A and B are shown apart, each in its own frame.
Chain A
Amino acid sequence: MLTNILTKEDTHKQLFTMGHTGCSGCAQSMAVKLIMQVLGKNTIATSATGCLEVFSTKFPESSWNIPWIHSLFENSAAIASGIEAALQITGKKDGTTVLSQAGDGGTADIGLQALSGMFERGHDVLYICYDNGAYMNTGYQRSGLTPYDSFTTTSPSGKISFGNNRPKKYMPEIAMAHKIPYTAVASAGYPIDLQKKVKKTLSIKGPKYLQVDVPCVPGWKYEPRYSVKIAQLAVQSGLYPLFEAEYGKITSVKKISKRVPVEEYLKLQGRFKHLFKNEAGKAEIEKIQKIADENIEQYGLL
C-alpha cells in the first residue's frame, strides 16, 4: 500500500502532486499525499481556507488531480454536504468518495458548527482534520487544538506566561459524541497506520472523522528533518493517542511501543523552549507529563 520510492514521473501521476508551495518538511502535505494514494481518483475534495488550500492551489497551478473546491474557512463540511446531496440526487454517489478537509482551526473552532451539522445529518462524507495545533496559515496563532503551554503568536510565552494556558480541545471525542460510524486519530509519523485507517473509511457509509497529527516546521520551530520523528514522539510520549472508534465507542488503540518522557518530545521544538529555562518551566513540563500519563491511562496506551 505505501509507496516507498517514487520516481519523478510517479510523482507527477500522484493525485496530490509535487510543485506546491508548502514548506519543506511540511507534514500536512505528506499526509495529504498518503491519503490520496488510498482514496484514489474517484474522490471529490473540499478544503477549508488554510495552509493546505493556499500552498496547493496558487492560480493557475493546482496540485490536485481530482475535482477539488475551496470556498471559505468555516464551511468545508457544509460544502461537502452539498456535494454529497447533489451526487445522491443525480445517482452519482455510488463509487465516489466525498472528502472534506480542514485544519485544526477550520475544524475545531470556526468550522465546528458546520461539521456538527454534517455529522448529525448523516452525510456520506469523510472529514479529515489536519491538526498542526495552530492557525499556521495566518502566522501561527493559537487555536482550540493548540497544546498546553505551546508558544503561538497570540499565546506567546512571556514574563508572566508559559504560552497557551488551556489544554487541547478533545475534538475526536466531540466527533464520537455524534455517534458517527467511524472516528479515528492518526499521525503523519505512522504512514501505514494512517493509510490503513483511510482505507477503512472507504468501506463505511455515513460521516467519518479522521484527525491527523501533522507537525509544522515554522509553527513548531524545528528543523525540517524532524517532522516524522516529532510526530512519532508525540505518540510514544502519550501526548497524541492514536485510536479508532465506531458509533462513539473506542474499538482499537495504537499501543505505545517505546514509551518516552514528554521532555523528549518538547525539547525538539522551539514552541516549547521557554519551558527549559528555569525551575518554573520544569514544573510546567511535569504538568504536561501528567496530561500524557492521563492519556495513557484513559486510552490504555500501554
Chain B
Amino acid sequence: MKKVLEGSMAISDSIRMTEPKVISAYPITPQTHIVEHLSQMVADGDLKAEYVMVESEHSAASVVLGASACGVRTYTATAAQGLLYMEEVIYNIAGMRLPVVLTVANRAVSAPISIWNDMQDSMALRDSGAIQLVAENNQEAYDMHIQAYKIAENPEVMLPVMVCVDGFVLTHTFEVVETIDHIEKVREYLPPLNMKYTLDINNPFSFGTVGEPSVYLETRFRLSNAINNSKSIIVDAANDYKEMFGKYEGALIDTYKMDDADTVIVAMGSVLGTIKDVVDELREAGKKIGVLKIRAFRPFPADEIVNALKNIKNAIVIEKAVSLGKGGILSCEIRDALYQRRINSVNVNGYVMGLGGRDITPKNIYDLIIKAEKEEDVDGEFFGLNNELLNKVF
C-alpha cells in the first residue's frame, strides 16, 4: 500500500512487520520519533514485544544483547553520542555473534554539540564487526530494515546489522512509501529466528568466556570471515526481497547512469538524491557522468566498487564524515581497493561536505564537479567552507 510516511514512521512500521520480541532504546534526536512510534505500537497492542525503557544507550544495547542471547529477535535505535556511548556494547554484540538490528539516525558528534545530520557517528563504529547498510530514501529505509534481519539472522552471518538513515533528512521527512500489506509475506521472507546457541536452562552454555592469547586470534578471524562472507548474503537478501516484494534499491552497491561515464560521483545515503538530480541535468547537457551508490559500507564491497569504477577517469567521492588526522574515509578505502588491484587509471578525489547538517545544494555539487575534474588525489578536503567564519571559530 502506498502511504505518505515520515521516515521514522516508515522505519517503525517495517520493524513492526519483523515482529521483534524485545525492543530497548534511549531517546536521542533524531532517533526519537522511531522509538516513540514503536512504544505506541506496543501500547496499542499492535506489536507484541517487551519495550524496555532503559536509563542509557549502554543499557539499551545491553538489554538487546541479553535478550538476543536468549534467542529472540531484538531491536534498538540511536544516534551520535548515543551510538558512541553504545560502542563498547556493539563490539561485544558482534564478538558474541548476536543478530541484533539497530537503526542509526545519523547525526554529527560533539563538540560542538549538533543535532544535525552527518555520518561521523556510524563511521566511528566501522571496525566494530557490525554490518553497516546505508539507506538513500524512506522507501529504502523501510525495505532495508526487513532485509537487515534476514542478513543478521543467517546462520553463516550471525552479526549485528546497523541500518544507517540520515537524521532529519530522512527521519523527519515525509515521502511516499510503499508498505507491505500482509505480515504473512514478511514471515515468509523472514522465518522465525532459530539460533543454535541460546541461554536455555535445558541446554546450558557459557557465553562471553575469557579468550586467552591461545584462542583470541582465531575468534577474531572467524568474526572477520563472517562479516566478509556476508557480502553474498546481503546480495541474496536484496534479490529475494525483489522477488517477493518487487522492490530493489541495490545490494552492496548500485549504479546510476554509469554506462559510458567518464566521471562518477560516489556517495552514501540521502545526498544521493541531490546528486542524481544534478547528474540528470548534466546528462541532458551531454556530459558523461554517473553515480555510484555505496549501500553496504561494511562489509566493504571492494570488488564491486573496483568493477564499477575501473574504466572511468574521475571518481568524485562525497562524504559526510572525516577521519581526523587522516582525511577521507570512503575515498581512502576506494583508492586502496583500486591500488590493491593495480588499477591506477582512476583519479579518486575525496571531499568532506555537509558536516553537522550543512546543506549540500545542487549548486555545491556542480561547483565541486568542475573543481574536482581539474584536481588529483584529493584526500578528504573540506568543501563548502564559509571562509569569513574561519577566523571566528576556534
A-side interface residues toward B, CB under 8 Å? 41-44, 46, 53-54, 57-60, 62, 64-72, 74-75, 77-83, 85-90, 96, 113-114, 116-117, 120-121
Contact = CB atoms under 8 A, between A and B. Distances in A.
A64 B56 contact: no
Interface stretch (B210-218, B247-255, B321-329, B334-342): B210-218
A113 B64 CA distance: 17
A64 B205 CA distance: 8
Given A86-B71, A114-B58, 20 more contacts: A59-B211, A67-B198, A67-B201, A67-B205, A68-B204, A68-B206, A68-B207, A69-B69, A71-B65, A79-B66, A83-B66, A83-B70, A83-B199, A85-B50, A86-B68, A86-B72, A114-B56, A114-B62, A117-B54, A117-B55
Given A58-B209, A82-B22, A85-B63, A41 B201 contact: yes
A59 B69 CA distance: 18
Nearest to A70: B208
A62 B206 contact: yes
Contact of B89 (A72, A85, A86): A72
Given A67-B204, A72-B89, A81-B59, A59 B52 contact: no
Contacts of B66: 46, 69, 71, 78-83, 85-86
B185 interface: no
A72 B88 contact: yes
Interface of B: 21-22, 24, 48-50, 52-56, 58-59, 62-72, 74, 88-89, 92, 96, 198-201, 203-212, 215
A87 B63 CA distance: 12
A87 B200 CA distance: 10
B64 A82 contact: yes
A83 B69 CA distance: 8
> Which of A65, A77, A79, A86 is the most central at the interface, judged by chain B CB atoms within 10 Å of its CB?
A86
A82 B200 contact: no
B62 A75 contact: yes
Contacts of B207: 67-70
5 contacts: A59-B210, A59-B212, A71-B208, A72-B62, A82-B70
Nearest to B21: A89
A17 to B, nearest CB: 12
A68 B56 CA distance: 24
Given A75-B89, A114-B58, A89 B72 contact: yes
A79 B55 CA distance: 13
B212 A58 contact: yes
A172 to B, nearest CB: 20
Contacts of A79: 62-63, 65-66, 69
Contacts of B200: 67
B72 A90 contact: yes
Contacts of B96: 71
A113 B62 CA distance: 13
B200 to A, nearest CB: 6
A82 B55 contact: no
B67 A64 contact: no
A85 B52 contact: yes
Contacts of B52: 81-82, 85, 121
Contacts of B198: 67
Contact of B201 (A42, A62, A90): A42
A65 to B, nearest CB: 6
A58 B59 CA distance: 26
Contacts of A42: 201
A57 B63 contact: no
The 8 closest A-B pairs by CB, nearest first: A82-B66, A78-B62, A117-B55, A82-B63, A86-B70, A78-B59, A70-B208, A79-B66
A93 to B, nearest CB: 11
> Which of B63, B200, B212 is the most central at the interface, judged by chain A CB atoms within 10 Å of its CB?
B63
B141 to A, nearest CB: 25
B133 to A, nearest CB: 24
